[in-house]
Structure 1
Amino acid sequence: MTQPPQPVTQHAFIALAPPDDAKAELEHALSPAYAAYPGLRWNRIEDWHVTLAFLGELPVEVVQRLRAPLADLAASRPSLDLALAGGAHFDERVLWTGIEGDLEGLHELGASVRARVRECGVDFVERPLRPHLTLARARRNDHESVPAAAAGLAGFAGRPWRTERLHLVGSTVKGHEGRRRYQDVDAWTLATSQRMGSPNP
């Protein structure tokens, strides 16, 4: 039986992911918006992430080359205390929830990640880090659903959570609508999480 061809390139990014209970809390808060705006292109909950560096389309072998350097970086970086909060949008097209907590540490981690990628000789377009978690995108000519859904999330304040792992993620396009599906290339436990999980001497 013929195997499907393996991708030679993939969209890649480096991110953090909220724990399942924090995502469940946000999912519950989004219930009214899910019902009111079914026409939005809602991201799958398992794909929710906080992007630190978007690398764009890269050859698969280049993505693989990042694994060891990022593993070393994660082993030296502390966990962060963060929380999901509120709702906002980009240009009436992209719905997102914000990030609160140790934002200074988050920006420092993002800068370290980007520096490590550059050290690996990977060329990517650097965008300012605006900590957020993307929830949905509007379809063409829909300029009302996203701002309305964002307003419904204005009072949302999620519980604090601690980051555990740094994720290198690859995405591919599937389906007739061209929707992306995300999958970890690899993930590494951050230093503080490693110490928390270690037995006492």
Structure 2
Amino acid sequence: MNKQSDASTVRVFIALAPPDEAKEELERELRPAYEAYPQMRWNRVEDWHITLAFLGELPVSVVPLLRQPLADLAARRAPVALALRGGGHFDERVLWAGIDGDLAGLHTLATEVRDVVEESGVALEERPLRPHLTLARARRDDPCSVPQVAAELADFTGRRWHAERLHLVGSNYGRGPGPIRYRDIESWGFTGAQ
């Protein structure tokens, strides 16, 4: 399949999003890095998320099948208490912020999300959950910026917050010069008992 989505497919994942206050706190911490490393491809703050399940390229007609099962899951789950903490990188090319807090609850939620997706007839790749927020990517000719920024984030500890909503997200996966953009297809509040 072509790397660019056509009108009959969409790249989909299920995620949690930090609240604006937590994102703003991390964004303030990153300001010196934004100035020192402008050559990095920084993700938009509004797109920061914690992926629970990556579904890949799906036919648009499949997406509605996920809505009710995900809504039902969110209705029986309480919010998960999390925080942003530290930083790291994948292969010296992808910069991320770490996740702290109720990691056992986060892993349980991810397992439940994946079960719901598979019960809806959507196959998933088996990937271990490595909770993180992707912040930026290095350009091919820049092998050292990401590890340097990750080291600068090592001592960052953000405030605690509750992941209040489950998000079904689509991306306009273009390979052009601009960043990947995400949009909520739908989201549901966690309304179960604490």
Distance 2:142 2:11 in 1: 27
Q: Which amino acid aligns with 2:70?
A: L
In the alignment, is residue 128 of structure 1 matched against residue 145 of structure 2?
no
How many pairs are equivalent?
Answer: 189
Seq. identity, %: 63
Q: Per-residue CA shift, 1:42-86, capped at 9, x if unaligned?
A: 000000000000010111111221111100010011111100000
Aligned to 1:3: none
Distance 1:71 1:88 in 2: 33
Q: Cα gap change, 1:17/1:94 in structure 2, threshold over 3 Å: closer, same or farther? A: same
> Matches of residues 12-23 of structure 1 in structure 2 within 5 Å?
12-23=12-23
Q: Per-residue CA shift, 1:107-143, capped at 9, x if unaligned?
A: 0000000000000110121210001110001111311
Greater CA radius of gyration, 1 or 2? 1
Aligned to 1:199: none
Distance 1:180 1:65 in 2: 25
Aligned to 2:42: 42
Preserved contact between residue 85 and residue 157 of structure 1 (Cα < 8 Å): yes
Aligned to 1:105: 105
- For structure 1, the 5+ residue unaligned runs are 1-5, 197-201
Q: Per-residue CA shift, 1:170-199, capped at 9, x if unaligned?
A: 00135831531100000000024xx69xxx
Preserved contact between residue 114 and residue 124 of structure 2 (Cα < 8 Å): no
Distance 1:127 1:112 in 2: 14
Greater mean alpha carbon deviation, residues 173-182 or residues 133-142? 173-182
Aligned to 1:83: 83
Aligned to 1:70: 70
Aligned to 2:179: 179
Cα RMSD, aligned residues only: 1.5
SS at match of 2:7: coil
Distance 1:74 1:141 in 2: 43
Preserved contact between residue 164 and residue 189 of structure 1 (Cα < 8 Å): yes
TM-score normalised over the length of structure 1: 0.90
SS at match of 1:7: coil
Distance 2:62 2:178 in 1: 24
> Matches of residues 155-194 of structure 1 in structure 2 within 5 Å?
155-174=155-174, 176-177=176-177, 179-192=179-192
Q: Which amino acid aligns with 2:51?
A: T
Distance 1:61 1:180 in 2: 22
Aligned to 1:141: 141
SS at match of 2:156: coil
Distance 1:43 1:117 in 2: 27
- For structure 2, the 5+ residue unaligned runs are 1-5
Preserved contact between residue 48 and residue 134 of structure 1 (Cα < 8 Å): yes
Aligned to 2:30: 30
Q: Per-residue CA shift, 1:17-66, capped at 9, x if unaligned?
A: 00000000000000011001111110000000000000101111112211
Aligned to 2:3: none
